[in-house]
């Protein structure tokens, strides 16, 4: 997995309600198919999840930032992707 840490892809987002959401975005080729993963977790790590995007549904970096903001601010949207993740993410995925 290659981690996007440039362009503030790993910078926390403060939601409109003041909650802090952390993100780590990775991309890779798995069996020759391009995929992207947006890992997210609350500051307390009590809510975690992953958005998996697989070709042809992968998106441009700018759109990834939009998805991150939507996760931070829209509970209904965020709840679609709730999944337990293991920390440290870079080591386990």
Q: What secondary structure does DSSP assign to 31-64, as a single string?
A: TTEEEEEEEEEETTSSSEEEEEEETTS---HHHH
Let me know if residue 93 belongs to a domain. Answer: no
Query: Considering the domain boundaries, does residue 74 fall inside one?
Result: yes
pLDDT at 9: 86
Region 20-24: mean pLDDT is 97
Q: Per the domain annotation, does 90 fall within a domain?
A: no
Give residue-wise pLDDT tens across range 24-63: 999 999 899 999 999 999 999 999 999 999 999 999 988 9
Domain encompassing residue 38: 2-84
pLDDT at 33: 96
Distances (CA, A) of 43 to 18, 37, 61, 84: 11, 19, 23, 15
User: Is 78 contained in some domain?
Assistant: yes
Q: How confident is the model at residue 10 (pLDDT cuts 50, 70, 90)?
A: confident
| pLDDT of 74 | 98
On whether residue 38 sits in a domain, the answer given is: yes
For residue 89, tell me if it sits in a domain. Answer: no
pLDDT at 8 over 90: no
Is residue 92 in some structural domain? no
Number of domains, the chain: 1
**Could you give the 3-state DSSP secondary structure of residue 26?**
strand
């Amino acid at each position: 997995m290659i981690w996007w840490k440039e362009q503030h892809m790993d910078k926390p987002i403060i939601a409109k309600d003041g909650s802090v959401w952390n993100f780590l975005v990775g991309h890779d080729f798995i069996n020759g198919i391009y995929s992207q993963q947006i890992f997210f977790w609350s500051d307390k790590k009590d809510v975690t999840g992953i958005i998996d995007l697989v070709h042809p549904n992968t998106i441009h970096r700018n759109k990834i930032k939009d998805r991150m903001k939507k996760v931070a601010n829209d509970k209904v949207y965020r709840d679609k992707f709730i999944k337990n993740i293991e920390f440290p993410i870079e080591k386990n995925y």
